[in-house]
A = this chain, B = another copy of it.
């Protein structure tokens, strides 16, 4: 893990780093308290599809975790996203396709996708999970002190849920905007959900254009964790109300503890 650049803004250190995972170089960002000493609870933030490690809500969450809780936060560009886009035109077409599906309103969920895109999805999840594990291997023990959380909705859950289910180092997770269903890799995703053991806060949107209500509720039902909480608000896929972030902070604070402890 190689620090590429660093800046400090209102008490928050933002480090741009490169993670070497497999044959790939994965660009990431770490936010931390300026002058922090000792281990700090650390939250890994997985962005959504067509987004990237510095999308506005990732940036907001990263900075809030630092400023409000004194935590450290880390985000990675998911495979094929952010600085890892190799075909900008294809990425732009995918972004437009996603926006069109959201604009079309709630429906029966994801339309059938071709075999190539299906293979791509399964590969993206496998690679994404491996990269989060590689990140944990690389992080200075000073960072998390054994107290790691994960936050990611939509694609951040499709990749993050199997990651959290298969890595004991993560002790609590905020997930959401996803459900059980018929997409590629769905059986494996459901199996991971049932294998979850750590506290989970699942966030759904009642009028999600991409995730049918029943699929989201089925996911909540399937999650194996003894402690799991579901939060639902009205509105579409990209309309989680801002006040939810407060409950996510409360959730992490409850399970990762305060920065000083």
Contact = CB atoms under 8 A, between A and B. Distances in A.
Interface stretch (A34-42, A91-99, A143-151, A223-231): A223-231
- Tell me the interface secondary structure of chain A in the complex: mixed
A214 to B, nearest CB: 10
Given A206-B221, A217-B217, A221-B206, A243 B254 contact: yes
A174 to B, nearest CB: 14
Interface residues of A, number: 19
11 contacts: A220-B232, A227-B241, A229-B232, A229-B233, A229-B241, A230-B230, A231-B231, A243-B250, A246-B250, A247-B247, A250-B250
A88 interface: no
Nearest to A199: B243
Interface in A217-261: 217, 220-221, 226-234, 241, 243, 246-247, 250, 254
A206 B230 CA distance: 9
Interface string A79-102: 000000000000000000000000
A178 to B, nearest CB: 16
